[in-house]
Structure 1
Amino acid sequence: MASKNNEDGGCSGKKTPLLDELEKGPWPSFVKEIKSAAETSKSAQDLLGQLELSYEEKKGHWKHGGLVGVLGYGGGVIGRYSDVGEQFPNVAHFHTLRVNHPAGWFYTSAALRTICDIWERHGSGLTNMHGSTGDIILLGTTTPQLEPTFQELAQAGFDLGGSGSSMRTPSCCVGMARCEWACYDAMKLCYDLTMAYQDEMHRPPFPYKFKLKCAGCPNDCVASIARADLSIIGTWRDDIQVDDAEVTQYAAAGVSIQKHVCDLCPTKCMEWDGKKLAIDNRNCVRCMHCINVMPKALRPGSDRGAVIMIGGKAPIMQGALLSSVLIPFVPAAELMETLQELIGRIWDFWNEYGNNRERVGELVQRVGLPAFLDGIGLDPVPEMIASPRDNPYIYFQARKGAQP
Structure 2
Amino acid sequence: MPNDKPKTELLDELEKGPWPSFVKEIKSAGQTSASAQDLLRQLELSYQEKKGHWKHGGLVGVLGYGGGVIGRYSDAGDQFPNVAHFHTIRVNQPAGWFYTSDAIRTICDIWERHGSGLTNMHGSTGDLILLGTRTAELEPTFQELAHAGFDLGGSGSSFRTPSCCVGMARCEWACYDAMKLCYDLTMAYQDEMHRPPFPYKFKLKFSACPNDCVAAIARADLSIIGTWKNEIQVDESAVTEYASDGVNIQKDVCDLCPSQCMAWDGHKLSIENHECVRCMHCINVMPKALRPGKERGAVIMIGGKAPIMQGALLSSVLIPFVAADELLDTLKELIRRIWDFWDEYGNNRERVGELIQRVGLPAFLDGIGLEPVPEMVSAPRDNPYIFYQAGKDGEK
Would you say 1:295 and 2:287 are equivalent positions?
yes
Deviation of residue 387 (structure 1)? Answer: 1.6
Alignment counterpart, residue 372 of structure 1, candidates 364, 367, 370:
364
- What is the alpha-carbon distance in structure 2 between the residues aligned to residue 269 and residue 389 of structure 1? 24
- What is the alpha-carbon distance in structure 1 between the residues aligned to residue 288 and residue 153 of structure 2? 39
Alignment counterpart, residue 228 of structure 2, candidates 224, 231, 236:
236
Secondary structure of residue in 2 paired with 1:306: strand
- Cα pair distance change 1:390/1:279, threshold 3 Å: farther
Would you say 1:105 and 2:97 are equivalent positions?
yes
Deviation of residue 66 (structure 1)? Answer: 1.3
Alignment counterpart, residue 345 of structure 2, candidates 348, 353, 357:
353
Secondary structure of residue in 1 paired with 2:370: coil
Letter in 1 for 2:279: C
- Cα pair distance change 1:395/1:226, threshold 3 Å: closer
Would you say 1:196 and 2:191 are equivalent positions?
no
2:11 alignment counterpart = 19
Q: Where do 4+ consecutive residues of structure 1 move more than 6 Å?
A: none
Question: Where does 1:1-400 land on structure 2 (aligned, <5 Å)?
Answer: 8-9=1-2, 12-389=4-381
Deviation of residue 65 (structure 1)? Answer: 1.6
Deviation track 1:300-347 (CA, whole Å, cap 9, x = no partner) reads 000000000000000011000000000000000000000000000000
- What is the alpha-carbon distance in structure 1 between the residues aligned to residue 246 and residue 20 of structure 2? 36
Instruction: Judge conservation of contact 1:345–1:376 (CA < 8 Å) in 2.
Output: yes
Deviation of residue 379 (structure 1)? Answer: 0.2
Letter in 1 for 2:330: T
Deviation of residue 64 (structure 1)? Answer: 2.6
1:402 alignment counterpart = none
**Number of residue pairs matched by the alignment:** 387
- What is the alpha-carbon distance in structure 2 between the residues aligned to residue 276 and residue 220 of structure 1? 29
RMSD across aligned positions (CA): 1.2
Instruction: Judge conservation of contact 1:175–1:186 (CA < 8 Å) in 2.
Output: yes
Secondary structure of residue in 1 paired with 2:160: coil
Secondary structure of residue in 1 paired with 2:338: helix
Secondary structure of residue in 2 paired with 1:141: coil
Deviation track 1:221-245 (CA, whole Å, cap 9, x = no partner) reads 0000000000000000000000000
- What is the alpha-carbon distance in structure 1 between the residues aligned to residue 294 and residue 168 of structure 2? 15
- Cα pair distance change 1:116/1:63, threshold 3 Å: same
Deviation of residue 395 (structure 1)? Answer: 9.2
Secondary structure of residue in 1 paired with 2:132: strand
Instruction: Judge conservation of contact 1:12–1:45 (CA < 8 Å) in 2.
Output: no
Alignment TM-score, normalising by the size of structure 2: 0.96
Letter in 2 for 1:27: W
- What is the alpha-carbon distance in structure 2 between the residues aligned to residue 249 and residue 67 of structure 1? 62
- What is the alpha-carbon distance in structure 1 between the residues aligned to residue 179 and residue 97 of structure 2? 10
Deviation of residue 358 (structure 1)? Answer: 0.3
Deviation track 1:127-151 (CA, whole Å, cap 9, x = no partner) reads 0011111100000001111000000
- What is the alpha-carbon distance in structure 1 between the residues aligned to residue 250 and residue 70 of structure 2? 52
Q: Which runs of 5+ in 2 are unaligned?
A: 388-396
Secondary structure of residue in 2 paired with 1:335: helix
Instruction: Judge conservation of contact 1:168–1:210 (CA < 8 Å) in 2.
Output: yes
- What is the alpha-carbon distance in structure 1 between the residues aligned to residue 9 and residue 21 of structure 2? 14
**% identity of equivalent residues:** 83
- What is the alpha-carbon distance in structure 1 between the residues aligned to residue 92 and residue 274 of structure 2? 41
Deviation of residue 12 (structure 1)? Answer: 3.4
- What is the alpha-carbon distance in structure 2 between the residues aligned to residue 59 and residue 183 of structure 1? 48
Secondary structure of residue in 1 paired with 2:363: helix
Q: Which runs of 5+ in 1 are unaligned?
A: 1-7, 397-404
Secondary structure of residue in 2 paired with 1:128: strand
Letter in 2 for 1:232: I
